[in-house]
Amino acid sequence: MRFDILTLFPDMMRTILDESIIGRAQKSEILEINCINIRDFANNKHNSVDDYPYGGGFGMLMQAPPIYRAYESVAQGEKPYTVYMSPQGKVLTQDKVIELSKKDRIVILCGHYEGVDERVLEEIVDEEISIGDYVLTGGELPAAVLVDSVARMVEGVLPQSESFTEESIYSGLLEHPQYTRPPVFMGREVPEVLLSGHHANIEKWKRKEALKRTYIKRPDLLGKADLTDKDRKILDEIIGELESET
């Protein structure tokens, strides 16, 4: 899978994305991530890519021509799927991550200053995506989040192909608590069932704890989760236990 990131800060993006699992996937040529400096397409003495907005207002606006030229340098006559990282976009979800992971390539535009000239967005952008209802100084951090979340869904990126299927959110529920050695830390013991070696009981415990954690921390997810009749029975037990504790 290929990502082309149009940005004013390519070194910042490389610093984040050349590390850990995403970095190894690039070295293995499973992923290709290109960071394109929009300033290289400014075509002026000072590599300026911003100007004052028509109609007045605070701050500076990124100009359309250098962005479009940067886009053309990677599009090369094609129309790659293009995403603009924006607080005005729909909030990123795991369903969207899965959808995007099925594309062969994605171009990501990172805004800065007070935003981007609307005309270039109309010309090249297929979708605007936000990572939350707050404002950042630029689109680079959101772009890194998008690349990381999408790339790890690509076959071969994670060490084990099954490892993402049991994670929080992907399965529709939050993940159960996890433990490793030592068996006792600060007086807190690993749940006995996890040390029992009884796989059926362990799986039952994991499912119940996932349901319990989701009910307590993110009850909104339960309405969208694919719950079985057995899950619903366990959930009723959990609710009863919690109510008896109060």
Enumerate domains of the chain plus CATH numbers: 2-151 (3.40.1280.10), 184-245 (1.10.1270.20)
Please state whether beta strands 61-62 and 81-91 pair in parallel, antiparallel, or not at all (unpaired): unpaired
Q: Determine contact, residues 113/59, Cβ cutoff 8 Å.
A: yes
Q: What is the pTM of this model?
A: 0.89
CA angle (80, 81, 85) in 5-degree steps: 125
Q: What local confidence, expressed as pLDDT, does residue 164 receive?
A: 64
pLDDT of residue 159: 82
**Type and span of the H or E element at 32:** strand 32-37
Query: pLDDT value at position 58?
Result: 87
Contact 168, 175 (CB under 8 A): yes
C-alpha to C-alpha distance for 174 and 169, rounded to whole angstroms:
6
* Cα distances (Å, whole numbers) of residue 223 to 214, 226, 232, 238: 11, 8, 11, 16
pLDDT tens for the chain, 246 residues long, are: 999 999 999 999 999 999 999 999 999 999 999 999 999 999 999 999 999 999 988 899 999 999 999 999 999 999 999 999 999 999 999 999 999 999 999 999 999 988 999 999 999 999 999 999 999 999 999 999 999 999 999 999 998 754 665 566 667 899 999 999 999 999 999 999 999 999 999 999 999 999 999 999 999 999 999 999 999 999 999 999 999 998
Instruction: Assess contact for 81 and 107: CB atoms under 8 A.
Output: yes
